[in-house]
Amino acid sequence: MSSRNVTSVARSGDQAAITDADGVDYTVGVNQAFIISSNPGTVLLISPGSAVMSMSLAQATAVRQSLKG
């Protein structure tokens, strides 16, 4: 998936410099989920190939379960 929230991505190693649609610059980790304050209902992620991936916060919410038997 892609997102209109991020207008540019420049990957360097395991970090990515991104610019959002409002022109604000951020540095995030590759494969690190993040949320931009102007769109708090969407979780974003920069893939190792520099693709911007997104999903709704409701879809991203997970329940942690114990693996104990």
| pLDDT score for 39 | 86
Sole residue written with tokens 């209109």:
4
| pLDDT score for 38 | 82
| pLDDT score for 61 | 74
| Phi/psi at 45 (5° precision) | -155, 135
Residue 3 has pLDDT above 80, yes or no: no
- pTM, two decimal places: 0.76
pLDDT tens digits for 5-53?
889 999 999 999 999 888 999 999 999 999 988 888 999 999 999 999 9
At 33 the three-state DSSP class reads coil
